[in-house]
Structure 1
Amino acid sequence: MLFYKKVRSGEASVVSGISKTRVYFINHFINPIFEKAEKMNISLMTIEIDRRGPNGLICKDNIRTDIAVTFLIRVNPTTEDVKLVASMVGCERACEINTLETLFSAKLSEALKTVGIRMDFEELFSNRESFIEDVIKVVGHDLNGYSLENVNVDYLEHTPLQDLDEENMQDSEGIRKIKEIIEENSN
């Protein structure tokens, strides 16, 4: 007796049983006595990183930057990667936001800091494409079965002066730099 399993767009079917694990991206049959089929969401999911105030990004010129970035991530739609993710976190949890945040938030946040410290605030503000490209390079595309598809900067401004700590060496240097820029632009 065979059961027909439908696989929708944006899904994979992971079949396990007495033989090796198989992955299907199209409709297929299983023998329910010997096999179990689980669906895995392989569509795009978003992780948002929002760094503001004292947690803002520090630029090369020590200007602290409030930034919100959206990362588009998915399970890479290959047999090997679907199997890897299924064994690592399970089919059901593969695209839960909490799972993705646990797996990737630290790495993504670190990539933002790594690239941000290489650029002055004005360079970052006026050249977001370069910033995004560099973040993608730092993160990499292969993330243990997941892939980074795109990065979007949703918000970018220097952190307001009242949110900066004058006792912090980087913030005090950033405050000085912001005041210089304001003075130059007012003349």
Structure 2
Amino acid sequence: MGVITTGLGVLIAVAVFVVIVLLFMVSRLFRKVEQGKALIISKIRRVDVTFTGAVVLPVFNKAEVMDISVKTIDIERTGNEGLICRDNIRADIRISFFVRVNKTTEDVIKVAQAIGTARASDQETLQELFNAKFSEALKTVGKQLDFVDLYTKRNEFRDQIIAVIGTDLNGYSLEDAAIDFLEQTPMARLDPKNILDAQGIRKITELTAIEHVKTNEFQKKEEKEITRQNVDARQTILELERQQAEAEIKQRREIETMRAREEAEIATAHAQERLRAEGANIRTEEQLGIQQENKAREIAVAEKNRERVIAIESEKIEKDRMLEVISRQRETELTTIAKDKEVEGRSGRSPR
């Protein structure tokens, strides 16, 4: 029993060791693939492609990485190499095509076998592969459209180019296209000896002449419209000014009427106030006159009373004086009588 247990322990330990070794080997041999890349594994009997990752065995397998991200191919045609439109007008154009290796096992293998993994997404290689095809498609579609349509319907132009090229390009796919620049080729860069350029120059001359005439007509029409609008505006302004003048005259008249009415009311109020003031003054003067008369009367009465008192006093004084005089006279007479009597008495006693 102990031998069996020991044997099982050894087997388990060996199994665990083997698993650990295998995991370590797998971790060391596993190749992870970045986004936008493809891993091509050439085995003894077949070729595998993975876009995530796989185990690569040394000696037995050969692994190559291919760039399958989107690449840009620029096509530019300018000057006497410009794109010829249906009306033989040349156009300067710059268009970008976005291509990539199609993300399928078959297409990745096809590109790898035809071009090689290193050159599959090389810019120069892509230019060599597709420049002629894309340029031809550009000329084919451009010749189907007049320049004005080419210029105004860019999205349709781009879609037609993509349709002519197609999306399957021997393992590559055309993702999209973008027109970066599109303008009419300047006439100075055209060759008058070239029949197509000569026709294009004539077309440009005709179109520009027509446009000049239209422009002149539009300018004249614009001038007439501006003049008409100015006349209408002037008439409107004059009418508004007339209405404003009438309104101002009416307003001034109303103001003057109101001012005259207010001035009349003020004058009436002043007159009434003046009359009230004059009445008050008259009443005041009457009161003052009455008071003065009363005062004069009182003064006169007082004066008469004073004179009466003075007269009474004077009369009393005079009476008292007269009484005093009379009294003195009586005293004098009595004194005289007394003296006379004394003298007579003296005279009668002397003879004896």
Aligning the two structures, in what range does the TM-score lie when normalised by the shorter sequence? over 0.9
The corresponding residue for 1:148 is 174
TM-score, length-normalised on structure 1?
Answer: 0.98
1:62 to 84, 88, 93: 88
Q: What CA distance in whole angstroms lies between the structure 1 residues aligned with 2:79 and 2:59?
A: 57
Measured against aligned partners, the alpha-carbon deviations of 1:65-99 in whole angstroms (never above 9, x if no partner) come to 11101000000000000000000111111000111
2:239 matches 1:180: no
Which region of structure 1 is more displaced relative to structure 2, 25-34 or 44-53? 25-34
Higher relative contact order (CA 8 A, sep 6+): 1
Deviation at 1:27, TM superposition (A): 1.8
Listed as ranges, the gaps of 5+ residues in structure 1 are none
- In terms of mean alpha carbon deviation, does 27-36 or 123-132 score higher? 27-36
**Alignment-mate amino acid for residue 184 of structure 1:** I
Map residues 164-179 of structure 1 onto 2, 5 A cutoff.
164-179=190-205
What's 1:127 paired with? 153
Match status 1:103 vs 2:129: yes
Shift of the alpha carbon at 1:26?
A: 0.6
Cα deviation, residue 33, structure 1: 1.9
Which residue of the partner structure matches residue 79 of structure 2? Answer: 53
Larger radius of gyration: 2
More strand by share: 1
CA distance in 2: counterparts of 1:33 and 1:162, whole angstroms: 65
RMSD of aligned C-alpha atoms?
A: 0.9
SS in 1 for 2:94: strand
Hey, what does 2:70 align to over in structure 1?
44
After superposition, residues 62-81 of structure 1 pair within 5 angstroms as: 62-81=88-107
State the alpha-carbon separation in 2 of the partners of residues 114 and 35 from structure 1. 46
Distance in 2 of aligned mates of 1:167 and 1:179: 16
Matches within 5 A, 1:79-90: 79-90=105-116
Q: Does the alignment pair 1:19 with 2:45?
A: yes
Count how many residue pairs are aligned between Structure 1 and Structure 2.
187
Residues 135-163 of structure 1: per-residue CA shift (max 9 Å, x gap): 01110000000000001111111110010
Higher helix content, 1 or 2: 2
SS of the residue 1:46 aligns to: strand
The worse-fitting range, judged by mean Cα deviation, of 27-36 and 161-170 is 27-36
After TM superposition, give the deviation of residue 36 of structure 1 in Å: 1.1
**Equivalent position SS for 2:80:** helix
Contiguous gaps of at least 5 residues in structure 2: 1-24, 214-352
Alpha-carbon separation, structure 1, partners of 2:58 and 2:81: 52
Percent of aligned pairs sharing the same letter: 49
Identify the residue that residue 57 of structure 2 maps to in structure 1.
Answer: 31
Instruction: Measure, in 1, the Cα distance between the counterparts of 2:77 and 2:102.
Output: 28
1:157 partner SS: strand
Give the TM-score normalised by the residue count of structure 2: 0.52
How far 1:19 moved relative to its partner? 2.6
Task: For residues 83-117 of structure 1, give each alpha carbon's deviation from its aligned partner in whole angstroms, at most 9, with x where no partner exists.
Answer: 00000111111000111011110000000000000
